[in-house]
């Protein structure tokens, strides 16, 4: 995103025609400006308020939990809190097709029946 577009989105952060991704990229871009001559204090306040509201909305989204492999907080750890996880990398019934689990495609394992 170029600086002009970033500044325009930043200054009009509440405008629904911009996506949340565009707004987040614009904020990051503006924060890298060497000077903020065209950005007012009110523009910064509006962007911060938008970020807070966006964060609150994300916190209120439904979360998906998987059965945990109980290895997230230590090898074969059974602390009683590890029964479920939101981290698919530690989900019992999911596999990653890539050797690098950070960029792989996850799919649920098929079982033969009564497992």
Same domain? For 35 and 78 the reply is: no
pLDDT of residue 115: 44
This prediction's pTM: 0.48
Note whether 49 and 71 are same-domain residues.
no
Average pLDDT of the chain is 77
Same domain, 47 and 68: no
Which stretches of 12-111 are assigned E, i.e. beta strand?
A: 66-67, 84-85, 94-96, 106-108
23 and 49 share a domain?
yes
Question: Do 40 and 70 fall into the same domain?
Answer: no
Rg (CA), the chain: 21
Q: Identify the domain containing residue 108 by its residue range.
A: 62-115
Same domain, 10 and 47: yes
Specify the residue for token string 């939101």. 86
Residue 113 pLDDT level (bands cut at 50, 70, 90): very low
Q: Alpha-carbon distance 57 to 54, whole Å?
A: 5
Whether 23 contacts 50, CB under 8 Å: yes
Same domain assignment for residues 70 and 40 = no
**Residue 108's beta-bridge partner residues?**
94
Count: domains in the chain: 2
Q: Give the three-class secondary structure for 75.
A: coil
């Amino acid at each position: 995103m170029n600086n002009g577009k970033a500044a325009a989105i930043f200054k009009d952060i509440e405008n629904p025609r911009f996506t949340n991704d565009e707004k987040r990229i614009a904020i990051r871009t503006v924060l890298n400006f060497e000077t903020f001559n065209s950005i007012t204090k009110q523009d910064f306040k509006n962007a911060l308020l938008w970020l807070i509201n966006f964060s609150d909305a994300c916190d209120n989204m439904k979360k998906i939990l998987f059965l945990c492999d109980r290895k997230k907080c230590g090898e074969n750890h059974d602390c009683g809190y590890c029964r479920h996880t939101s981290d698919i990398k530690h989900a019992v019934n999911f596999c990653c097709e890539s050797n690098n689990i950070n960029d792989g495609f996850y799919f649920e394992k098929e079982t033969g029946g009564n497992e």
